[in-house]
Amino acid sequence: MPPYTETLAAGAILVIQLAGAASVIHTRLNECSRTSGSAQKWFFILLFAVGLATMIGIHTGHSTWLPGAATLGLMAIGATVDLRTERRSPAF
């Protein structure tokens, strides 16, 4: 692969990962607003994009898969953590 193509690919992967991490913060901040639906849709789109970029990094053998895997972990934890302060009884 020519050097400029490899640089563009690495830059695109970096931008996708940063956008994925930013979508976690954006979705959490808009959790109780009217725009929470669109924030969640963008979160899932970027979750798919980060997963795809990670799989491409693994397939090509470049070291770009490791930050992608870390971003996937961050996005999974960000999607499931409950940051509310009130106590709720367990559902079971």
Q: Which helix (H) or strand (E) holds 85?
A: none
54: exposed, middle or buried (C-beta count within 10 Å: 0-12, 13-18, 19+)?
Answer: buried
Confidence of residue 47 (pLDDT cuts 50, 70, 90): very high
Q: pLDDT tens across 50-74, in order? A: 999 889 888 887 777 888 899 999 9
Residue 46 has pLDDT above 70, yes or no: yes
Confidence of residue 43 (pLDDT cuts 50, 70, 90): very high
Answer yes or no: are the C-beta atoms of 20 and 46 closer than 8 Å. Answer: yes
Answer yes or no: are the C-beta atoms of 66 and 59 closer than 8 Å. Answer: no
Residue 1 has pLDDT above 90, yes or no: no
Query: What is d(CA 33, CA 25) in angstroms, rounded to the nearest whole number?
Result: 14
